[in-house]
A and B are shown apart, each in its own frame.
Chain A
């Protein structure tokens, strides 16, 4: 039986396998991620980076093995507890995943509404986060009227507004120019500096080089090794 009492670890994976039918996406992954760590998961497309991130917030379930997140054993978590697990994460996607019919404010406020925060607090907090990411003036804009870089900044704002413990970023700079990528990197570093854990799945070597941090390599579902930060 695995316990989650290792205080320096926030995420642990034990002999994790994930397969879709006969296709093996992840094979025997053992992983330990510490609190306040900036970690990259790198590897070619189809290596299993996104799948590994999805296993952490139960976007997918493991086929074999066990995953612990902040002391929660994901194999034993009930359906009602899943939202509480997901509130530990702020998640950033390459395609931003913003709700196209809602304004910038509403997209970010959604996280706090889901946590049953009061309206006044939500308004104050969303404005503060938008100020931090530098797009306060676009608060009432709809996502399609924003540039890619601005949309990703909204996604970062949404990821951090609920004060999560961990940020998961899946190819966060995949659709951005290098200036916008630098802004995103600085925002992630800011979250890390304030004690958060950041896990970025990317094959953007330039982004990894600029950020520094531990790098894990995935290839065809196998975790090949790690480079200390």
Chain B
């Protein structure tokens, strides 16, 4: 193993240019794939935060007597997934609206009567805060005879979820394409290295070197290149992330978005993946090019 490593390091030095091409290729692929991963991780976190903030507003039909309110509240609370139900009277809602409208609140002065309905604000347990489950709860609430309408901002949530899913699919496809491109380029680079060293390989065989002895350093070389490419890709992404996030901090309330870099487990996984890219590229080229 010591001899293999010694020879692999020597080979990297001897074939500096081709080695650098391989490392840069892997680094670029890792950078692009990790950038997508970073985007998805953060987008997912933001979506989760938004989902957690989703509440259902159930508006009561006009003319429902106040004595029926506890019964309606109980019926809503009995629905699976509901955590808390708060009654908001139309007077309270009107007062809140006035506060929110501030300067424009004079418009409301001309109204003869309060146009707002009595309502219940409903929050959900954590496991029921996702799209379809919220839909189901909302449908059940809407089916109650005293309820006129429900609202929970489902349209924009669905829209964001759909766009996010589309991005996720594109990300997987891009990841796959860049993985294949990296393997393809590593394969061809190693093939080129083998081609330039075909005479050396022939001499090794003549002097009685085993296939393991000949191929071993190529594998070690490729794995080292994979690790280096992975580290360079992650470091480049980290620098880019820091530069972009620092400009975000100055421009608006950055802490609301709570953007984070990839977790240590994730970038360890990325480096393992880039090692695999190096190994796979080497395996394919040796299999095709270095037949006994």
Contacts and interface: CB of A to CB of B under 8 A. Distances in A.
Contacts of A102: 200
A99 B203 contact: yes
B204 A110 contact: yes
A83 B200 contact: no
Interface stretch (B25-33, B61-69, B177-185, B206-214): B206-214
Interface in B195-244: 199-200, 202-211, 213
A84 interface: yes
Given A97-B203, A113-B3, A116-B3, A87 B208 contact: yes
A84 B208 contact: yes
B66 to A, nearest CB: 91
A165 interface: no
A115 B204 CA distance: 11
A113 B7 CA distance: 10
Contacts of B14: 101
Interface residues of A, number: 26
Nearest to B207: A111
A202 B58 CA distance: 103
Contact of B199 (A85, A99, A111): A99
Interface residues on B, range: 10 to 19
A104 interface: no
Interface string B63-84: 0000000000000000000000
A44 interface: no
A15 B101 CA distance: 107
Contact of B207 (A79, A119, A162): A162
B208 A86 contact: yes
B200 A101 contact: yes
B112 interface: no
Interface in A95-130: 97-99, 101-102, 110-111, 113-116, 119
Contacts of A82: 292
B194 to A, nearest CB: 14
A116 B292 CA distance: 20
Contacts of A115: 208
A111 B200 contact: no
A134 interface: no
A80 B7 CA distance: 22
B200 A86 contact: no
Interface in B1-50: 2-3, 7, 14
Given A79-B292, A113-B3, A86 B199 contact: no
B5 to A, nearest CB: 12
Contacts of B202: 97
A52 interface: no
Given A97-B199, A101-B200, 14 more contacts: A80-B210, A82-B292, A83-B210, A83-B213, A84-B208, A85-B208, A87-B208, A97-B202, A99-B199, A114-B210, A115-B208, A116-B3, A119-B2, A162-B207
7 contacts: A59-B206, A83-B208, A110-B204, A113-B213, A114-B210, A162-B207, A162-B208
